[in-house]
Amino acid sequence: MNNKAAMVLMVAGVCYLAGSHVTARTATRQETAASTKSGQAASDQDIELLRKDIRSQKKQLIAANLSLTPTEAIKFWPIYDQYEAEYTKIGDAKLALIKEYAQNLDTITDEQALDYLKRSEEISQSVIQLRKKYVPAVNQVLPGKKTATFFQLERRIEMLLDVEVASLLPPLQSQSH
């Protein structure tokens, strides 16, 4: 796999982990262009800076779409920051899996394919469990409709990014020789 393709897959994973759909597309284009110019993939430090920027954009998106009173905001944002810190740890696992998948795409065995599938499902379950854990905490500081709206926004962002990542990751069967 060439560096450009690996970079696209890696950035797609980064974007899946932390940001809005629009930001993800922009970042993917920018990082792919940077990768093509330099002839090498972004460093881990570059990826971490990108993830921080995307998390910031995500927070702005949530703030713009979740009408909070000043009192609610004071109570909600620290909980959100805790949630996002835990979500980022799950994202680290997702990024590692995407990197491994991209590196082994041309030589993946049946056993590895099943292992990737299992690990991907475990990561998805971790996100679900994280949301379940935080519903009561968010609901202690926000009324039910705002709590539901927050988690709807989270899920919508995740679904949009899932589609983005899926469009960039080739199916394994197409890699068979």
What does the CA dihedral 18, 94, 175, 172 come to, rounded to 10 degrees?
-100
Q: How many Cβ atoms sit within 10 Å of the Cβ of residue 153? A: 16
Q: Does the residue 177 lie in any domain?
A: no
Q: Which domain holds residue 32?
A: 3-168
Nearest Cα to 29, choosing from 168, 154, 162, 129? Answer: 168
**pLDDT per position in the chain (177 positions), as tens?**
443 344 344 444 444 444 333 333 334 434 443 443 343 455 677 767 766 777 777 888 899 999 999 999 999 999 999 999 999 999 889 888 988 888 888 888 999 999 999 999 999 999 999 999 999 999 999 999 999 999 999 998 888 777 877 777 777 776 555
Dihedral pair phi/psi, residue 138, rounded to 5°: -65, -40
| 78 vs 92: CA distance, rounded Å | 21
Q: Does the residue 174 lie in any domain?
A: no
Q: Does the residue 70 lie in any domain?
A: yes
Instruction: Please state the domain count of the chain.
Output: 1
Q: Does the residue 173 lie in any domain?
A: no
Tell whether pTM > 0.75: no
Q: Does the residue 176 lie in any domain?
A: no
The predicted structure's pLDDT at residue 41? 54
